[in-house]
Amino acid sequence: MRRSFIIAGIALAAVVLGGGWLVFGGSSDNADAAPQTAEKRAPSVSVVRAARREISEEAHVSGTLVAREEVMVSPEVEGLAVTEILVEEGDRVEKGQVLARLSKSALDAEAAQAQASIAQAQAQIAEAEANVAESKLALERAETLVQSKTIAKAAYDQRLATSRVSEARQRAAEHNLKVAQAQSEQIAIRLARTEIKAPTGGVVSRRTIRLGAIASMAAEPSFRIIEAGAIELQADVVDSTLVRFQTGQSVRVTTAGLSTPLSGTIRLISSEVDPATRLGKLRVALPLDAKVTIGSFASGVVEVGRQTAVTVPISAITVSAGKSTVQVVIDNKIATREVTIGLRSATRAEIKSGLAENELVVSRAGSFLRDGDAVTPIETNEAEAAR
């Protein structure tokens, strides 16, 4: 009986050991097969085709809205009080329009005094003319009498002197009249200047004058006028971008408070740049009816180039040490190409040389692929490549 149990145990152990060998032996074979399968399957890579299409490049600028020409308006007389202000900031004015008035009561008194001086001088002239006429008659009679020796030579000399004095008084009275008239004209000019007028048409951008204040030509200008209401975007642009602009180019200008961009035009490109910052001035003229205010921030977009060319997504390009490269797939293997970049849009770049149309390009640069690596290319569209 004991012998039977021993035989049965030996048989059971053999079965267990045999099963274990089958199990472990099978696992070893599968492990050897897995690497062989992995070696045969190349990694998948997303690729896009170099496509010929229209591409445009845009340059972005930003700056401040300023007046094209801002005219300063100050009083032309001193020491008079402001009695009336007729316009406010934002009002549109015409050339010659009265903006404010100054007190003219003192000048009115001076004008009346000048008129009185004129009248007095005219009366003196009339009196002097009468005296001259009378003295001339007396002198003529004296000449006749002295020739006939009726009167002494001394009497004649006295009448001659009287005539000359009358003429001198007439000339003095005429001079006084001219002085009085000149003073009256000066007062009239000052009276006219008590009305502060717009020297040009435009929009009032600032008013500093106050009622009751004493006018002074040395003080801050009373008004500032944006000539013709013309407002521009003034931007500082790096020199490498500035040279790509031309006067007359269209600019899409965006500023706070406007839902729709304004259509502007490059009016002025600075002929010099700051040697320290390498920035130059750009002026973009805006429509005269634009509802904008000076001092506001604004940005603009300028199209600097457009053409049809071979292009690839920006994401496919690597730039290193000043060189641009892409990775192409040829016969399911990676190859790196140096390319020359032309125009750039937000998503694509023009390839001027180094790549032909329809070649397969790895859609994302920097994917740790090396030349000669075997890959399985999976062609995607540009939208998928950008994700």
Section 209-216 average pLDDT: 93
Mean pLDDT over each residue of the chain, to the nearest integer: 85
Mean pLDDT value of segment 147-162:
68
CB atoms within 10 A of CB 334: 19
- Range of lowest pLDDT (31-35, 55-59, 102-106): 31-35
Query: Which residues neighbour 203 within 8 Å (Cβ) at sequence distance 6 or greater?
Result: 90, 91, 92, 93, 225, 226, 229
Q: Is the pLDDT of residue 123 over 90?
A: no
* pTM reported for the whole predicted model: 0.66
| Token couple for 363 | 């859609």
All domains in the chain, ordered by first residue: 45-57+307-386 (2.40.420.20), 61-67+229-306 (2.40.30.170), 77-103+194-228 (2.40.50.100), 104-191 (1.10.287.470)
Distance CA 362, CA 355 (A): 13
CA atoms of 385 and 313, how far apart (whole Å):
8
- Assess contact for 76 and 191: CB atoms under 8 A: no
Judged by DSSP in three states, 40 sits in: helix
Burial classification of residue 167, based on how many CB atoms lie within 10 Å of its CB (0-12 exposed, 13-18 middle, 19 or more buried)? middle
Q: Are 326 and 317 in contact (CB under 8 A)?
A: yes
- Which residue, 120, 132, 116, 115, is CA-closest to 171? 132
The answer to whether the CB of 207 falls within 8 A of the CB of 85 is yes
Write the pLDDT tens digit of every residue in 64-115.
999 999 999 999 999 999 999 999 999 999 999 999 999 999 888 988 998 8
